């Protein structure tokens, strides 16, 4: 983050959520955008959904930062824009990992962000769906307390080790709320889209943000260490084919992890296609080869295939894990793999919309060490032959 | 009076002896049943060809990780079984498979169907928590007494079709007072009879104790009524349905695991069900807001419409729902009503046409 960056202060006497809502109402009224995409409680009160809202009145009771993530926001933005951006300029209030997945989907041609304005908020994490739906009233309280104290214990396991829970570098506006309990919240523009809105509303952008930045950096550093520890611990449980089989042994092949994943955008997954349907003889031959065949078949192949397809863009949101009926730690496993793959390509998904996807770029000098090991083997053989 | 084979072992061991016998004597070349695997003891279905692997099977373990009908369909969709196999499955799985065969999604050919009178299964979340094992003594005690078993899937508590249809061999479990000493295997078909020729055991003629079965059915009916009454006030009627489904996260996992939902691509996952900008703009103009999850109720109603004639009430839909929606109850209620209207019991008779594929000129004259 550039040190000279400045932010605007929004008064937050009535709470941080209210401060954001007031800003949105004002901006909507002034025509800064035509509609707002924002989570709000469903009529029954026991869950949340994204609503597209045109009228300020409908912003009453919306929740910029709901306690749960029933649907990944990137999926919603993709649904909204993949068949064309339409005439409306829409401001989306989303969590940092939702914004990052949105950027990835845009790169994959599954979202059109030209008329979208991405507003992210410092994220304390979300409560796992199963915990919340068991007792929503209690869930609301737990989240309220935990988010005030920035306590990540009740949150999704991947939220507890999230090291990208603040501004991501590709949002248009970011609401800094970490450690700003007394003095209102910070609204930090990133690029001209965000700046224009603050200018239009006459909100001065002249507050020094270094205090907030220091707090964010401190949290990020702490989380980075925890992430590494957690990943290392889990890696020893899943590394090698036998351990991986064990880790996914409870899989019932429902593919719900794929279904709720913001990155898995294929309308029909390869693993649901005819390509993965075989003759009885085929299955039987496989059973005979080892004396038995687990049914449903090909569950691990699915997970490894999915990993290969999406791990470079995985934002570790944890939707997959929340949606798994067998409580397999899919999100944590994919975080281990995703982190390593992303590091290998020096790629941070969702950070920069102009940076191309690793698999779409070719660099001659890339992964020389991988090539050299082969070269080494063959030259060794040549030596021996000589 | 049907033929019966009695093996002097508890049902799990007796059944394993039968499965081993079938494999070792070439009566079948494969056995599809539940097996305990790995150090965590995951319970999963396996197609077993090596008789030694029968030792690790748990054919009657009260868990349904997947509805086996769906898996049998997968195995026999492209061609019927080319080798004879024996399959151990629950009455609702068998009924669902018959429904799939009627829809040409599988074949019964070359399959020896082994089922049991069914006490029900525990929810998947109990398998995850790892506390099914400790419930087992209580489970088998209740099976022996013919009681409704505590903590099983609500769908199972309300299930009155616990006696299998179309099985070649039925293991008598519910209300079987000598359950820990003796496996009672009813040989319902010629195929069932010939498959056990040569096995050591006591042959005779016997049937299910119809009075005991009636008693159990009555208990389940009471349970069903109780659950149905709760539902009457809570979940039905369009207003209540909207509420019930408002937690839906649109993952469609209920359809994905449903043995009857066999469509390769669900209509609601096709491009036809996606919206363009004009839709959102129009909706926004009309009301000022759009719920981005608004089509979920439509999805559920259409799914109910599509599956209700064949819903066997297995309850897997509710077990996998990340939003804890009591889908089993809605399916059961709707399935019951529709099936009664058509006088159709899914999975009972393989020869009986599906209600929507048969036309009776005199049908529903009252409505017309």
Chain A 300-319, CB below 8 Å of chain B: which residues?
Answer: none
Distance CA B254, CA A254 (A): 9
Q: Report pLDDT for B359.
A: 85
**Alpha helices in A41-86, H assignment, sequence order:** 73-81
Residue pair B114/B171 in contact by the 8 Å Cβ criterion: yes
**Domain match, A140 and A199 both:** yes
The per-residue pLDDT for range A139-172, each reduced to its tens digit, is 999 999 999 899 999 999 999 999 999 999 999 9
Give the one of A43, A71, A277 whose C-beta lies nearest to B246's C-beta.
A43
Residues on chain B touching A50 (C-beta within 8 angstroms):
291-293
Distance CA A113, CA A301 (A): 34
Residue A43 confidence class, pLDDT cut points 50, 70, 90 = confident
Length of chain B equals 368
Distance CA B145, CA A376 (A): 72
Between A28 and B238, residue with greater pLDDT: A28
Question: Which residue in B202, B201, B196 sits closest to B25, CA to CA?
Answer: B196
Whether A256 contacts chain B with CB within 8 A: yes
The DSSP H or E segment spanning A188 is strand A185-189
Determine, yes or no, domain membership for A124.
yes
Burial readout B305-326 (b: 16 or more C-beta within 10 A, e: otherwise): ebbbbbbbbbbbbbbbbbbebb
The domain boundary, picked from A229, A257, A288, lies at: A229
Q: Report pLDDT for A1.
A: 45
**Domain match, A280 and A268 both:** yes
Distance CA A325, CA A335 (A): 19
Distance CA A98, CA A292 (A): 42
CA A5-A6-A9 angle, 5° bins: 155
- For the complex shown, is ipTM > 0.90? yes
Question: Which residue in A176, A166, A251, A170 sits closest to A208, CA to CA?
Answer: A176
Contact B81 A44 (CB under 8 A): no
**Domain match, A243 and A202 both:** no
The per-residue pLDDT for range B158-176, each reduced to its tens digit, is 999 999 999 999 999 999 9
Determine, yes or no, domain membership for A366.
no
Residues on chain B touching A80 (C-beta within 8 angstroms):
277, 280, 292
The per-residue pLDDT for range A288-310, each reduced to its tens digit, is 999 999 999 999 999 999 999 99
Contact A83 B274 (CB under 8 A): yes
Give the one of A253, A323, A327 whose C-beta lies nearest to B251's C-beta.
A323
Residue B289 confidence class, pLDDT cut points 50, 70, 90 = very high
Question: Which residue in B63, B100, B91, B94 sits closest to B159, CA to CA?
Answer: B91
**Domain match, A100 and A185 both:** yes
With a cut of 90, say whether residue A20 has pLDDT above it. yes
Which of B43, B47, B80, B108 has the highest number of chain A CBs within 10 A, making it the mutation to test binding with A? Answer: B47
Residue pair A161/A224 in contact by the 8 Å Cβ criterion: no
Burial class (CB in 10 A: 0-12, 13-18, 19+), A213: buried
Could you tell me the two tokens for B16? 């394993």
**Domain match, A39 and A141 both:** yes
Residue pair A177/A183 in contact by the 8 Å Cβ criterion: no
Residues on chain A touching B37 (C-beta within 8 angstroms):
249, 294
Tokens 């043995």: give the residue: B259
Residue pair A218/A210 in contact by the 8 Å Cβ criterion: no
Determine, yes or no, domain membership for A379.
no
With a cut of 60, say whether residue B281 has pLDDT above it. yes
**DSSP-assigned states of every residue in A268-318:** S-GGGSGGG---HHHHHHHHHHHSEEEES--HHHHHHHHHHHHTTT-----
Contacts of B211 (CB under 8 A, 6+ apart): none
Determine, yes or no, domain membership for A37.
yes
Determine, yes or no, domain membership for A365.
no
Percent of chain B with pLDDT over 70: 98
Distance CA B199, CA B176 (A): 22
Q: Report pLDDT for A184.
A: 87
Determine, yes or no, domain membership for A369.
no
Q: Which residue of B has its CA nearest to A323?
A: B322
Determine, yes or no, domain membership for A288.
yes
The per-residue pLDDT for range B237-278, each reduced to its tens digit, is 777 888 888 899 999 999 999 999 999 999 999 999 999 999
Residue A2 confidence class, pLDDT cut points 50, 70, 90 = very low
Range of the domain at A296: 233-360
Residue A367 confidence class, pLDDT cut points 50, 70, 90 = confident
**Domain match, A154 and A176 both:** yes
**Domain match, A222 and A304 both:** no
* Domains in chain A, number: 2
Give the one of B46, B124, B125 whose C-beta lies nearest to A293's C-beta.
B46
Residue pair A310/A294 in contact by the 8 Å Cβ criterion: no
Q: Report pLDDT for A383.
A: 56
What distance in Å separates residue A297's CA from the closest CA in chain B?
9
Helix (H, G, I), strand (E, B) or coil at A57: helix
**Domain match, A179 and A44 both:** yes
Percent of chain A with pLDDT over 70: 94
Whether A275 contacts chain B with CB within 8 A: no
Whether A242 contacts chain B with CB within 8 A: no
Length of chain A equals 386
Q: Which residue of B has its CA nearest to A73?
A: B292
The per-residue pLDDT for range B105-159, each reduced to its tens digit, is 999 999 999 999 999 999 999 999 999 999 999 999 999 999 999 999 999 999 9
Question: Which residue in A269, A274, A297 sits closest to A285, CA to CA?
Answer: A297
Question: Average pLDDT over chain A, rounded to whole?
Answer: 93
With a cut of 90, say whether residue B332 has pLDDT above it. no
The DSSP H or E segment spanning A225 is helix A210-238
Determine, yes or no, domain membership for A45.
yes
pTM of the model: 0.94
**Domain match, A108 and A187 both:** yes
Residues on chain B touching A252 (C-beta within 8 angstroms):
65-66, 124, 257, 320
As a whole number, mean pLDDT of residues B18-27 equals: 98
**Domain match, A197 and A252 both:** no
The per-residue pLDDT for range A81-98, each reduced to its tens digit, is 999 999 999 999 999 999
**Domain match, A268 and A210 both:** no
Contacts of B323 (CB under 8 A, 6+ apart): A47, A70, A129, A133, B247, B248, B249
Distance CA B163, CA B208 (A): 9
């Amino acid at each position: 983050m550039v040190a000279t960056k400045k932010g605007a202060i929004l008064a937050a006497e009535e709470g941080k959520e209210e401060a954001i809502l007031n800003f949105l109402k004002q901006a909507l009224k002034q025509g800064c955008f035509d509609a707002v995409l924002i989570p709000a409680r469903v009529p029954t009160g026991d869950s949340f959904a994204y609503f597209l809202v045109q009228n300020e009145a409908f912003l009453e009771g919306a929740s910029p930062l709901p306690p749960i993530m029933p649907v990944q926001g990137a999926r919603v933005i993709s649904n909204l824009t993949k068949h064309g951006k339409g005439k409306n300029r829409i401001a989306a209030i989303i969590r940092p990992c939702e914004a990052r997945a949105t950027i990835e989907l845009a790169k994959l041609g599954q979202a059109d962000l030209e008329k979208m304005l991405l507003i992210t908020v410092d994220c304390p994490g979300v409560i796992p769906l199963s915990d919340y739906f068991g007792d929503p009233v209690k869930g609301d309280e737990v989240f309220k307390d935990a988010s005030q104290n920035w306590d990540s214990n009740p949150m999704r396991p991947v939220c507890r080790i999230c090291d990208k829970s603040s501004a991501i570098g590709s949002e248009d506006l970011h609401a800094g709320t970490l450690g700003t309990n007394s003095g209102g919240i910070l609204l930090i523009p990133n690029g001209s889209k965000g700046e224009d809105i603050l200018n239009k509303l006459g909100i001065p952008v002249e507050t020094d943000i270094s205090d907030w930045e220091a707090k964010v950096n401190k949290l990020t550093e702490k989380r980075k260490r925890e992430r590494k520890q957690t990943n290392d611990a889990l890696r020893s449980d899943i590394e090698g084919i036998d351990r991986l089989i064990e880790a996914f042994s409870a899989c019932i092949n429902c593919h719900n992890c794929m279904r709720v994943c913001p990155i898995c955008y294929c309308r029909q997954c390869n693993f649901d296609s005819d390509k993965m349907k075989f003759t009885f003889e085929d299955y039987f031959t496989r059973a005979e080869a080892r004396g038995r065949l687990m049914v449903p078949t090909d569950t691990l192949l699915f997970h490894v295939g999915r990993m290969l397809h999406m791990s470079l863009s995985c934002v570790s949101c944890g939707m997959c894990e929340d949606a798994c009926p067998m409580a397999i730690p899919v999100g944590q496993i994919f975080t281990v793999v995703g982190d390593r793959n992303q590091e290998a390509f020096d790629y941070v998904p969702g950070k920069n919309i102009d940076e191309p996807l690793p698999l779409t770029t070719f660099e001659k000098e890339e992964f020389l060490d991988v090539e050299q090991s082969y070269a080494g083997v063959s030259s060794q053989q040549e030596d021996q032959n000589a | 009076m049907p033929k019966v084979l009695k093996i002097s072992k508890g049902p799990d061991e007796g059944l394993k002896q039968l499965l081993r016998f079938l494999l070792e004597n070439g009566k079948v070349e494969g056995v599809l049943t539940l097996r305990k695997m790995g150090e965590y003891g995951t319970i999963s279905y396996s197609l077993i060809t090596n008789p030694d692997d029968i030792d690790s099977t748990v054919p009657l373990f009260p868990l349904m990780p997947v509805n086996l009908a769906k898996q049998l369909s997968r195995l026999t969709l492209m061609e019927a079984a080319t080798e004879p196999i024996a399959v151990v499955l629950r009455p609702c799985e068998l009924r669902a498979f018959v429904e799939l065969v009627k829809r040409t999604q599988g074949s019964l050919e070359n399959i020896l169907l082994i089922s049991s009178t069914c006490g029900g299964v525990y929810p998947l979340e109990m398998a995850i928590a790892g506390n099914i094992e400790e419930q087992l003594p209580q489970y088998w005690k209740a099976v022996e007494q013919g009681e409704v078993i505590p903590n099983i899937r609500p769908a199972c508590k309300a299930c009155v079709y616990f006696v299998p249809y179309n099985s070649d061999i039925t293991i008598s479990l519910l209300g079987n007072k000598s359950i820990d000493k003796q496996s009672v295997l009813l040989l319902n078909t010629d195929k069932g009879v010939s498959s056990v020729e040569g096995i050591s055991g006591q042959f005779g003629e016997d049937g299910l104790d119809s009075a005991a079965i009636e008693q159990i059915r009555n208990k389940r009916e009471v349970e069903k009524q109780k659950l149905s009454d709760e539902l009457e006030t809570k979940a039905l009627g369009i207003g209540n349905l909207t509420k019930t489904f408002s937690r839906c996260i649109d993952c469609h996992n209920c359809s994905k695991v449903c043995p009857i939902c066999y469509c390769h691509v669900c209509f609601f996952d096709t491009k036809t069900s996606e919206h363009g900008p004009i839709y959102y703009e129009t909706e926004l103009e009309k009301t000022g807001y759009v719920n981005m999850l608004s089509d979920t109720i439509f999805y559920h109603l259409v799914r109910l419409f599509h599956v209700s004639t064949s819903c066997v009430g297995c309850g897997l839909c509710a077990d996998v729902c990340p939003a804890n929606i009591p889908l089993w109850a809605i399916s059961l209620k709707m399935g019951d009503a529709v099936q009664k209207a058509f006088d159709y019991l899914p999975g009972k008779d393989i020869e009986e046409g599906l209600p929507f594929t048969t036309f009776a000129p005199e049908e529903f004259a009252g409505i017309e």
